[in-house]
């Protein structure tokens, strides 16, 4: 099995690469990443010398490069995680999200189709998506695999478009695919632009904790290592042409999550209870902010036997402990020093 994982130096991608490199020594795992601001090869120091692992620096928006890569390595499977994923950045620069998330996905689909033609026996194109394509929920209800798409941000619109293209290639060309839509991930190695690592870093530095609007936006949270386990399971046991929702069964309002994080950080840093909570600062809401996401993950639970291994409180404690125990990683990320790791290791 020659398996291409795109975006494998990113947050979720690095955990997926590690999962497959360590669990399947008989596979060869190729990690393709452009090493933009969120791609960090320091995330994979523990597997970078493995005999069944190869890193390739490259951009999925370069169609000729992608096509040559597939012809050279003859990939049997693709797990496609490479994406622009920060909603705030998509509001500022939507075209960057169209280029990577839509065109990049199409280039991969074309290369996969061009390599194998109609002989797809034993092949799979696995596309990783998000629950944000479904839009927003009211006070009740859950996203299911049949929920209509209703994206509200340039990011979620670009991911919805890529999902549609994957399905269209399946229907039109017979390309074997599977799609998973996941909820908010958290855990080790997450770039500190996202809520949990940003707030952990800010609490350490005694900086303000910016909470959008009234803080009552609700999200379902999924521990990243549980997500990697789910991806492994779907890749090996899925029914082709299906969609599976992956959620953590952990709905939290943002303000409640932040207060829990503050309390746990005060304990870890031996600060008086309530000290970190004083850093909470309410800021102007962002445009098109979805009120609530919540995933019904019963399909993957019932058909493939997957369920989260930790509660949110347990996962949050593991996450805090990791960041506090990896101060050098956090310092490199926040200073930009991590971006020189490729040159040091691969020059």
DSSP states along 20-55 = HHHH-TTSEEEEEE---TT--GGGGTTTTT-TTEEE
**Do residues 228 and 12 lie in contact, with contact meaning Cβ atoms separated by under 8 Å?**
yes
Pull the structure tokens for residue 64: 């000729």
Pick from 223, 214, 273: nearest CA to 248:
223
**Do residues 101 and 59 lie in contact, with contact meaning Cβ atoms separated by under 8 Å?**
no
For residue 292, what is the DSSP state?
B
Catalytic residue among 126, 155, 177, 244: 155
Pick from 204, 202, 182: nearest CA to 192:
202
The total of other beta-carbon atoms located within 10 Å of residue 141's CB is 11
DSSP bridge partners of 140: none
**Do residues 60 and 6 lie in contact, with contact meaning Cβ atoms separated by under 8 Å?**
yes
Catalytic site residue 131? yes
Pull the structure tokens for residue 229: 């386990």
Q: Where are the alpha helices (DSSP H) in 103-223?
A: 104-116, 154-173, 195-204
> What is the Cα–Cα distance from 269 to 204, expressed in whole angstroms?
8
Catalytic residue among 132, 145, 251, 290: 132
Specify the residue for token string 């994080």.
Answer: 261
CA 115 vs CA 71, 77, 109, 178: distances in Å:
6, 11, 10, 18
Catalytic site residue 155? yes
Catalytic residue among 42, 131, 145, 163: 131
Specify the residue for token string 């690095």.
Answer: 14
Residues designated as active site: 131-132, 155
């Amino acid at each position: 099995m020659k398996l291409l994982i795109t975006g494998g130096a990113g947050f979720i991608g690095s955990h997926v690469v590690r999962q497959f490199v360590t669990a399947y020594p008989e596979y060869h795992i190729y990690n393709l990443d452009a090493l933009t601001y969120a791609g960090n090869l320091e995330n994979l120091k523990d597997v970078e010398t493995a005999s069944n692992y190869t890193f390739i620096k490259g951009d999925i928006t370069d169609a000729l490069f992608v096509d040559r890569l597939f012809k050279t390595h003859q990939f049997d499977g693709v797990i496609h995680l490479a994406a622009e994923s920060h909603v705030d950045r998509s509001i500022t620069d939507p075209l960057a999200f169209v280029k990577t998330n839509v065109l990049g996905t199409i280039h991969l689909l074309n290369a996969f189709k061009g390599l194998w033609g109609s002989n797809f026996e034993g092949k799979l194109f696995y596309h990783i998506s998000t629950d944000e394509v479904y839009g927003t929920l009211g006070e009740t209800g859950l996203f299911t695999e049949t929920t209509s798409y209703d994206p509200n941000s340039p990011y979620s619109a670009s991911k919805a478009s890529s999902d549609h293209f994957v399905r269209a290639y399946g229907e039109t060309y017979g390309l074997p695919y599977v799609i998973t839509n996941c909820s908010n991930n958290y855990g080790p190695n997450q770039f500190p632009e996202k809520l949990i690592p940003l707030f952990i870093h800010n609490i350490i530095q005694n900086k303000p904790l910016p909470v959008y609007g009234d803080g009552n936006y609700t999200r379902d949270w999924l521990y990243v290592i549980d997500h990697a386990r789910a991806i492994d399971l779907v890749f090996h046991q899925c029914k082709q042409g299906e969609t599976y929702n992956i959620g953590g069964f952990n709905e939290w309002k943002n303000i409640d999550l932040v207060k829990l994080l503050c309390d746990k950080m005060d304990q870890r840093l031996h600060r008086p209870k309530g000290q970190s909570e004083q850093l909470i600062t309410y800021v102007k809401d962002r445009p098109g902010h979805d009120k609530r996401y919540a995933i019904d993950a019963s399909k993957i639970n019932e058909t493939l036997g997957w369920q989260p291994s930790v509660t949110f409180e347990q996962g949050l404690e593991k996450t805090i402990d990791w960041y506090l125990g990896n101060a050098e990683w956090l310092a490199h990320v926040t200073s930009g020093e991590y971006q020189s790791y490729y040159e040091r290791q691969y020059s």
